[in-house]
Amino acid sequence: MTNLAFPRLAFAFGLLAAAPAFAQDWQKEWADTQARAKGQEFNLAVHSYEAHEAVAREFQKRFPDIKVNVTPSTPSTMAPRIVTEQRNGVFAWDSWWASTANMNNIVLPLNGFDKITDYFILPEVKDPENWRRPDMMYSSDTGPYIFMASQYAEATAFFNKGVVKGLEMRNADDLLNPKLKGLIATEDATRPNAGTYVLSSLVKAKGEEFMRRLMGDQNPIYIANQRQLADTLIRGDAAVMIGGSPEYIAQCWKAGSCKDIVRLPVTPYLLGRGVAVMKNAPHKDATKVWINWLLSREGQQVYVREWAKTNETGAVSMRKDVEPDPHHVESVPDYANMQNAFRPSTDSGTKEMNTVAKVFKEINDKK
């Protein structure tokens, strides 16, 4: 009879013996990577939110020997720029951190990223057990390219109650009220942006005919610049803002103004903020330091803290050991049912966004 006890004990002993060597391996790799990164530049593109820039500044403080160059930009602007540069053989960026729809739908299909898993060093980053829904951490089934460290419920739609006196907005159907004709401002619906996400969520909930009535009968105003879009609502030139940056409205609230502006009661979508490594990243060691720090417990705690300072929603990390900001608990998704939500930052949101773009083009071509 074969003695199974001895092999099991031997295997267990082998694991114990290997554990210190494993620890030394990653610790040595981490130390060597940081040593090689000293003096390197690190070119980081971020979504143009103050919180993203604040986190980058914290990274610079944490690793002062790396020269961090930050370029803030909206993803809808950054995506075509990256595509154009890469087509012309220019690989200037090391990493990109932003909401992920443009990353996923525009840059990823053109092979604009390296596998981010090749840059993982820290065991706490590698271990899927440290993350909620490890099966939904990447934006696409294409592969491990865009890692979504934050996924949260968001509804970037706002109503200025002072523009149309007596008008109540109880649900999405009220967007079709004739009193709002010409008073709804949103973004270019042909490409992924916060406005497209809301409109696509409405398509998922209400159907394509609802979208045709909204874009056709209501004659919305289209404004590409998010600051200008917010200013249009704040000034009262529009009664409804669909899309734009909620950060601008949050700043207005914190300043004690914009008291007539409230969030619209529309179904939230599930937004993913993710990080990726650019194809042919020129400063690989500095990039490894950034990726591992950002996705560490420390980095995610810094993100949640900084995001909560300038935003009303979204200070949420997918790490199990990082708590959301206590004032942002309504942003926490239903982790058990994330697959049922509209997720514009992933492959699953493509159908509805394509519908919105199609309707937008058809209606505007007739004008």
Predicted confidence at residue 218, as pLDDT, reads 95
The answer to whether residue 142 sits within a structural domain is: yes
Point out the least confidently predicted range of 127-131, 158-162, 350-354.
350-354
Task: Say if residue 52 is in the same domain as residue 143.
Answer: yes
Report how far residue 215's alpha carbon sits from residue 301's, in angstroms, rounded to the nearest whole number: 41
Point out the least confidently predicted range of 14-18, 141-145, 267-271.
14-18
Q: Check whether 268 has a pLDDT greater than 80.
A: yes
Q: Quickly list DSSP for 186-205.
A: E--TTS-SHHHHHHHHHHHH
Task: Say if residue 93 is in the same domain as residue 234.
Answer: no
Full residue range of the structural domain in which residue 279 is found: 15-153+271-333
Task: Say if residue 46 is in the same domain as residue 119.
Answer: yes
Report how far residue 367's alpha carbon sits from residue 306's, in angstroms, rounded to the nearest whole number: 44
Length reported for the chain: 367
Report how far residue 136's alpha carbon sits from residue 149's, in angstroms, rounded to the nearest whole number: 10
Predicted TM-score (pTM) above 0.85: no
23 falls in which pLDDT band (50, 70, 90)? low
- The model's pLDDT over 206-241, given as tens digits with 9 standing for 90+, comes to 999 999 999 999 999 999 888 899 999 999 999 999
Q: What CATH number does the domain containing 214 carry?
A: 3.40.190.10
Predicted confidence at residue 22, as pLDDT, reads 55
**What is the rounded average pLDDT of the residues 36-41?**
97
Task: Say if residue 259 is in the same domain as residue 361.
Answer: yes
Q: What are phi and psi of 144, to 5 degrees?
A: -80, 75
Q: Check whether 192 has a pLDDT greater than 90.
A: no
- Listed in sequence order, the DSSP H helices in the chain are 5-37, 50-62, 75-87, 101-102, 123-126, 194-206, 208-216, 226-235, 246-254, 284-295, 297-310, 350-365
For residue 256, the tally of other CB atoms under 10 A from its CB is 7
Which DSSP symbol is given to 131? B
The answer to whether residue 129 sits within a structural domain is: yes
The answer to whether residue 300 sits within a structural domain is: yes
Per the model's pLDDT, the better-predicted residue between 162 and 18 turns out to be 162
**What is the rounded average pLDDT of the residues 139-163?**
95
Report how far residue 88's alpha carbon sits from residue 178's, in angstroms, rounded to the nearest whole number: 49
**What is the rounded average pLDDT of the residues 256-263?**
93
- The model's pLDDT over 63-116, given as tens digits with 9 standing for 90+, comes to 999 999 999 999 999 999 999 999 999 999 999 999 999 999 999 999 999 999
Task: Say if residue 219 is in the same domain as residue 361.
Answer: yes
The answer to whether residue 2 sits within a structural domain is: no
- The model's pLDDT over 326-358, given as tens digits with 9 standing for 90+, comes to 999 999 999 999 988 899 889 988 889 999 999
| Residue 339 Cα to chain centre, angstroms | 17
Q: What are phi and psi of 14, to 5 degrees?
A: -60, -40
Q: Check whether 198 has a pLDDT greater than 90.
A: yes
Per the model's pLDDT, the better-predicted residue between 350 and 177 turns out to be 177
Q: Check whether 48 has a pLDDT greater than 90.
A: yes
- The model's pLDDT over 310-329, given as tens digits with 9 standing for 90+, comes to 998 999 999 999 999 999 99
Report how far residue 156's alpha carbon sits from residue 301's, in angstroms, rounded to the nearest whole number: 24
Predicted confidence at residue 16, as pLDDT, reads 39
Q: Check whether 17 has a pLDDT greater than 50.
A: no
Task: Say if residue 21 is in the same domain as residue 135.
Answer: yes
The amino acid present at 109, given as its one-letter code, is P
Half-sphere exposure of 2 (CA within 13 A, CB side): 3
Task: Say if residue 108 is in the same domain as residue 137.
Answer: yes
First to last CA, the chain: 85
Which residues, in sequence order, are bridge partners of residue 95?
44, 277
259 falls in which pLDDT band (50, 70, 90)? very high
Which residues, in sequence order, are bridge partners of residue 274?
98, 148
Task: Say if residue 219 is in the same domain as residue 319.
Answer: no
The answer to whether residue 343 sits within a structural domain is: no
Task: Say if residue 102 is in the same domain as residue 149.
Answer: yes
Distances (CA, A) of 308 to 84, 208, 313: 34, 35, 7
Which residues, in sequence order, are bridge partners of residue 160?
261
